[in-house]
Amino acid sequence: MLYTLDSIRTTLKRSGYRLTAESATGLPFEVVFESVGKSRVRKFVDRAYFALVKLWPRMFAYQFVLEVQINTTDSVDPIK
């Protein structure tokens, strides 16, 4: 299932979780370009893209990584 950043935040909150950390990742250019070497061009593109991710994550992030903690146990069934 795919989520927007806002929809996953809302879903987690409604499910009893509290967001504790959030980060954005850039596109893995070594996979896209099938590069295993240390190309200067790839390094430059990677650094430039990572800077764009930092500046405008909603536009340039490849994915968001969220860290959450359970906020409530009211809706959790006890182990029988």
Band (pLDDT 50/70/90 cuts) for residue 65 is very high
Nearest-angstrom CA–CA distance, 51 and 75: 41
Q: What percent of the chain has pLDDT over 90?
A: 59
Band (pLDDT 50/70/90 cuts) for residue 30 is confident
* pLDDT score at 75: 55
Q: Is the pTM of this model over 0.85?
A: no
Residue 4, phi then psi, degrees to nearest 5: -85, 165
Residue 42, phi then psi, degrees to nearest 5: -65, -40
